Amino acid sequence: MSEKGILVVFSGPSGSGKDTVLNELVKADSNVKVSVSMTTREKRDGEIDGVHYYFVTREYFEKKISENSMLEYAEYAKNYYGTPAEPVDEMLSQGKSVILKIEVQGAEQIRNRYDDVISIFLMPPSLRVLEQRLRGRGTEDEETIQHRLFIAKEEIRKAYDYDYVVINESIESAVADIEAILCAEKCKIERNKKTVSEVINNV
């Protein structure tokens, strides 16, 4: 048994398939939880407040920043996005693996703040595939798509800073790769010292 849950930073450009991959991952493993972020962006069709995001005003978000209740936050495509700290700490202490689905600036803040965090970058197989996926979503206008593609290229350059890169060739292969990463991380000696010492002392 690991002592505490694993904190996982999970990034990838908009349209790389993060949501789909994480949905499947959570279905397959009840020990994995995805943190619900707070954002000031408009709700997209089908999104539910409190499930996909907590949709709030800029004023409310800035109040939460000043109260120090955000684990990290960033401005992305002209909106605030951030992780409320309390639920994450609680899930980790229950031994859950907690995934933060965040962009690269937030990922950097988390890495600087916590030693014990693993980071995974989800890559589209190519920029062409990414563009097709963004267009296929049909939720953004042309200007937003071009802006997101520009940001995507910059973000992919940051993949070098992550511990792991998973290529989203298919949902199944991406989920299997992440499960393998989590499994290997759980078995690391750093996370199992208590168990080892208990075994030794009970002999």
Q: Extract the tokens encoding 157.
A: 């350059």
Pairwise CA distance, residues 130 & 134, whole Å: 6
Q: Considering the rule CB under 6 A, would residue 81 count as an interface residue with ligand 5GP? A: yes
Check residue 94 and report its DSSP letter.
T
- Burial (0-12, 13-18, 19+ Cβ within 10 Å), 141: exposed
Of the candidate residues 25, 74, 166, 182, the single one contacting ligand 5GP (CB under 6 A): 74
Q: Please, what is the minimum distance in Å from the beta carbon of residue 53 to ligand 5GP?
A: 7
Of 16, 20, 10, whose CA–CA distance to 164 is shortest? 10
Q: Considering the rule CB under 6 A, would residue 76 count as an interface residue with ligand 5GP? A: yes
Pairwise CA distance, residues 70 & 50, whole Å: 16
Q: Considering the rule CB under 6 A, would residue 72 count as an interface residue with ligand 5GP? A: yes
Length reported for the chain: 203
Q: Considering the rule CB under 6 A, would residue 162 count as an interface residue with ligand 5GP? A: no
Binding segment (CB under 6 A) for ligand 5GP, from list 75-83, 114-122, 126-134, 163-171: 75-83
Of the candidate residues 9, 17, 37, 175, the single one contacting ligand 5GP (CB under 6 A): 37
Binding segment (CB under 6 A) for ligand 5GP, from list 54-62, 95-103, 122-130, 164-172: 95-103
Check residue 121 and report its DSSP letter.
E
Backbone angles phi, psi at 131, to 5 degrees: -60, -45
Q: Please, what is the minimum distance in Å from the beta carbon of residue 12 to ligand 5GP?
A: 7
Cβ closer to ligand 5GP: 17 or 106? 106
Of the candidate residues 103, 123, 162, 178, the single one contacting ligand 5GP (CB under 6 A): 103
Integer angstrom CA distances of residue 37 from 85, 93, 132, 160: 10, 19, 26, 25
The residues that touch ligand 5GP, with contacts defined as CB under 6 A, are 14, 37, 41, 72-74, 76, 81-83, 101-103, 105-106
